[in-house]
Amino acid sequence: MKALAFVCVCGFLITVDAVCAPRPGSEFTLPDLPYGANALEPSIDTETMVTHHDKHHAGYVRNLNAALADEKPCRKPLKLRELVEKIGTAKLSDESKRTTIRNNAGGHFNHEMYWKIMSPEGSQNDISRDLSAAIATKFGSLEALRDEFLGAAGKVFGSGWAWLCMDFELKDLMITSTANQDNPLMDAKWVDQRCNPILGVDVWEHAYYLKRKSARADYLEAFWTLINWEEVSANYADGL
């Protein structure tokens, strides 16, 4: 009987406050790009960056705030990562909002990571010793990781993302992909592989179409040269 009571309390704690309305002034906001909109030229053109950040990412943030507004006010700050992790099961005042929150919380989280894991110079020399060792163990070399990662990104059907990800328990690396704005942190019913993402590439056409038309492979080759490995290494260290 005691065990049953414990399970029930646990379930309650998991769902409570997972989805709530941020207090006025604490709504989600669009982060600035960590570099100028023209800084990734010629790999990613300025017009693509401006549209992608100022229209698409801004839209996810705006729609997320609108979808959360009717929930009960948050008692503590609502963390984006927590929302992404819990949206598959969290209690909602209106079930029809689950898809909207899933898409827009995912869109906001994924793009925040995407901007940060790129830099104008790229930084292959900045891979931490730990991440470098993990890459060698799992893939054999950075070149082999590149081939597998870009291969997975090229195979995403329609809009979605490819990820370099960490197993939550074993901490080893893996590559996976998600549809639309889903993220490997989300509920298992929506993703092939639950894991902790440390590097993600956006393969929606809006990420490359203005410059590259349908040539996703060219965009992916260019993206690889932009990766900010210092940031990816920090994500890896956070996941250990």
Shortest gap between Cβ of 135 and Mn ion (angstroms)?
A: 26
Distance between CA atoms of residues 174 and 198, nearest Å? 10
Residue whose CB is less far from Mn ion, 109 or 229: 109
Residue whose CB is less far from Mn ion, 163 or 204: 204
The answer to whether residues 98 and 187 touch, using CB atoms and an 8 Å cutoff, is no
Distance between CA atoms of residues 125 and 228, nearest Å? 10
Chain position whose Cβ is nearest to Mn ion: 202
Residue whose CB is less far from Mn ion, 71 or 202: 202
Residue whose CB is less far from Mn ion, 21 or 207: 207
Residue whose CB is less far from Mn ion, 204 or 236: 204
Shortest gap between Cβ of 48 and Mn ion (angstroms)?
A: 10
The answer to whether residues 166 and 198 touch, using CB atoms and an 8 Å cutoff, is yes
Instruction: Give 77: exposed, middle or buried? Use CB within 10 Å, 0-12, 13-18, 19+.
Output: exposed
The answer to whether residues 119 and 35 touch, using CB atoms and an 8 Å cutoff, is yes
Residue whose CB is less far from Mn ion, 109 or 139: 109
Distance between CA atoms of residues 118 and 229, nearest Å? 8
Cβ partners under 8 Å of residue 108, min gap 6: 28, 57, 60, 61, 64, 80
Shortest gap between Cβ of 106 and Mn ion (angstroms)?
A: 11
Could you tell me the two tokens for 181?
């704005």
Shortest gap between Cβ of 180 and Mn ion (angstroms)?
A: 10
Q: Tell me if residue 204 falls in helix, strand or coil.
A: coil
Shortest gap between Cβ of 136 and Mn ion (angstroms)?
A: 31
Residues lying near Mn ion in the complex (CB under 5 A): 202, 204
Shortest gap between Cβ of 203 and Mn ion (angstroms)?
A: 9
